[in-house]
Every structure is written in structure tokens, then in C-alpha cells.
Amino acid sequence: MHYIDGTWVSSESEFAVTDPSNGEVIGHVADGGAAEATAAIDAADRAFTSWSQTTAYERSAILYEAWRLMTERSADLAELMTTEQGKPIKAARNEVKYGADFLLWYAEEAKRIYGETIPSARPDQRFVVLRQPVGVCAAVTPWNYPISMITRKIGPALAAGCTIVLKPAEQTPLCAKAMFEIFHDAGVPAGVVNMVCASDPVPVGDAWLDDDRVRKLTFTGSTEVGKLLGGRAASTIKRVSMELGGHAPFVVFDDADPVHAAKGASLVKFLNTGQACISPNRIYVQRGIAEEFIATLTERVAKMRAGNGFGDGVSIGPLVDDDAVAKVERQVNDAVEKGATLHTGGARLTDDGLDRGHFFAPTVLGDVTPDMVIHAEETFGPVAPVIVFDDPEEVLGKANDTTYGLAAYLYTRDVARAWRIAEGLRFGIIGINDINPTSAAAPFGGVKESGIGREGGHVGLDEYLDTKLIGWSV
């Protein structure tokens, strides 16, 4: 079902939603196109005038209620996510909590949208600056974080006074439906939030990109698609914010504790089975501690259990589809053929019924070199490529040698080095001895081809606000 103008709407056709751990159909949803996309814009455009004129306190109260309902339903949301997206249930619970945090944060930030006055050189003139909602926003959310990416966009949009039309990833529409049930039950007025599901995103995207009533596009997904959407959005000069691909370096200097660093690397690299834009793709370890680091990392990764996310002890879920498995397999085979050392993993998993899903063994590669595909290409899978380095002065250049610029990590006990490297890394998010530099209260986003704009924190609200200057002669 679509959600348009406060009502659940069906389409003539539907598409199936499957469990990626076993391929079983778990539901069907309406399959929309240009007509539904335009109807959603119509509803959002009609609702904008009244919604944008509500007080910050009214918008805040609705976001608080959505947060309360989301918290109340968190167990069901997590179970749905594990079934539909595949991530282990513990990780799903963590995501639901993270997603709810955005509703709570922006319920509070809604009351902190400030203007300003500016002194004029003329005694008879006053300048006043207002912050006002940009208008109708179009949002496209990904499958890898199917709940938190919805709240990270809808939270600030509603707080700012915008209305929104959203297309969830075709792999995870049931999670989106559950979230829109929460917004409906929280009392969001008709037309303020709208959702169109589609097996083919192109007709929906075309309708939203070509309509000049849509004043902002927010997208989380691949850099390739982001470039296409950004180019199309330019035709009507829409505001754009995008969180795109990553190719994160993870740099470990020889003054760091190799065991502690390896533990951190194993946790963040295999987060969501490596299907996270902030997961490290290039692990640089200084030679003096490389042997102990690799041994510890290999030992931890070899113990990781893959399977259905509801299984006891499972920490590695399925990849999103068979194409994703093939990509990981291609990268690993290329690396091994070119001389990489396979420490553990390295193959599809097919035993114990895993052949019905999309599973790849958690993998550690050593002796990775720049001529290997995995060195330059984002993996989005459970493979940790380790590169040993000698010169601490050269590793910064190696880490920056990518068109991406989302997240980067470094481990060191040297405070001066930590500051120097953090300031020199051309990435939007830096973790210093920290694998989780994210929060609803903190800005999230990248530079270069990893995106534009920020989500989260008070700056995330700015993405949904226009600045208006009023000059007044008195």
C-alpha cells in the first residue's frame, strides 16, 4: 500500500518482498508509478501552507508522539527489519533505537529555529533574517538502514515545517509501511507525509525530479545514482542533500594497541555484514604491529557466525541480493589472483541451507596492493582488506587517494599525531580510536563524491530551511 494524503492507497499491480536469508516471499506491496508519484506531490503541496504555519510547539508535539510510538513498537519493528532486510536481531534493535533518536532530537530542535537581526548602515533601516521551510521535499531511502534513514530525513523535514514525499527501497517497503503507520497514528496531518512504493524507481523519480513544486531532494544511496539524480534536480534548481558511497580508510599506527584496534576493525568492518557506507574498505596497519593485528582480526572474524538474523550467535546476515554476492566474490578472487593472502573466508556460504539466501563468508585479506580491484572499489560486503605500511608520513596520502570522502578511522596513542592526521584526512567523519562517531545530535555526511549536505544535528535542520532577508525602512 502507498500512503497518500493521509490514506492507504492500492495500485493495480503489486510486487513481492522476500527474506534475503532464504528467498521466501514475506509480503506484497502496491507497485506505483508516475500517477501515484504525482498524487503524492499534489497532497504534499496542498498540505504545505497549513503545515508550514503551525507553531514549532505543535510540530514538536507530533514528533514526540511519533518517538513514543516508535519506542513502544520497537520490538516489532526490529523483528520486521531482520525478516525483510536480514540484519541480525541485535543490530536491528540498535537501528530502531538510533532511528527513534532522530525523532526525539528533532522534536527538540523544532523549537530552536532562530532568525536574527542585522545592524544597518542607515538609521531608518532594519534588517531581519527569517528561517522558513523550503517546501515540498522528495526523499529516497536505502535498503541497508530501512528505518533510521526514514526518520533521519522525515524528522528534520517535519520539524522545519516541510511536507514530504518518500520512496523507500524496493527491497524494504514493509519497514517503511510500519513507519508510516506510526506517523499516521501520531497525528501527522493528511498530506504532510506521503509514501510511494515501486519496484521500478525510475517513473517515480522522474515525476518528482521534473515537478517544480518539489523544492528539495534528499537521497541516500550509491554515488552513481546520486550523480544522475543531482543532475536532474538541477533542471528546476532544487535544493539537494545526498549521502552517497564510501571507501573508508582505517589507519592503525604502531603506537596503538593492536588487539584493541583489531577488535574495533572487526566490529565496524562487519557492521551490517559490511553493507554500511561507513564500513572500512582499506585497513592500513603499520608494520611493527601488523602481525599481531592480523592474527587478532583473523581470529575474531573466523569465529563470526553467518545465518538467519534470528539465529543464536549470528552476527553476519545475508547480502541484499545475488548480484551483491557476485561483486564480493569477484573482488576477492581478483585480489587472491594478484597475490593477496586469504587469512579466512573467501567464498560463498552454501551449507546448512544458506544456499537459499545470499551469504558470503566473513573474509580477511592480507598483502593487498593498489592494483587490486578491492583497493579502489567500494565492497559493500564482509571483506576486510589489510595493507601494511612503513612510513607514517606517507599513509595520509594513501588514505586520501580516493574519490570518496565519507568516513575515516585512525588508531594512535599520540595526541599530536591524532589531531594532525584527523585534520589532514579529506573525509566528512573521522573516528579517533572510535568506531562509532555517529549520533542523532551530530552531523553526518561526506565530501567529494560521498555526498553533499549533512543529516543529523542542528545543521541537519538547515538542509530544510531557506533564509529570507527582510529590509524595513522605518
> What does DSSP say about strands 314-316 and 193-195: parallel, antiparallel, or unpaired?
unpaired
277 given a catalytic annotation: yes
Cβ–Cβ under 8 Å, residues 379 and 364? no
Determine the Cα–Cα distance for residues 383 and 298; give it in Å rounded to an integer. 11
What is the secondary structure of 194-257 as a DSSP string? EE---SSHHHHHHHHHH-TTEEEEEEES-HHHHHHHHHHHGGGT-EEEEE----EEEEE-TTS-
Contact of 249 with 409, CB cutoff 8 Å: yes
Between strands 163-167 and 383-389, the pairing is unpaired
d(CA 217, CA 448): 18
Do 183 and 147 touch, CB atoms closer than 8 A?
no
Options 197, 277, 378, 463, the catalytic residue = 277
**Which of the following is catalytic: 36, 65, 84, 243?**
243
Of 253, 241, 168, nearest in space to 462 by CA: 241
Distance CA 309, CA 315 (A): 7
Q: How far apart are the first and last CA of the chain?
A: 55
Q: How far is CA 303 from CA 298, 314, 315, 316, in A?
A: 9, 10, 10, 11
Query: And the C-alpha cell for 76?
Result: 516489532
SS3 of residue 429 by DSSP:
strand
Single-letter residue type at 218: T
| 243 flagged as catalytic | yes
Alpha carbon distance 63, 53 (integer Å):
16
Angstrom distance (rounded) from CA 435 to CA 261: 10
> Rounded to whole angstroms, how far apart are CA atoms 110 and 461?
8
Active site residues: 243, 277
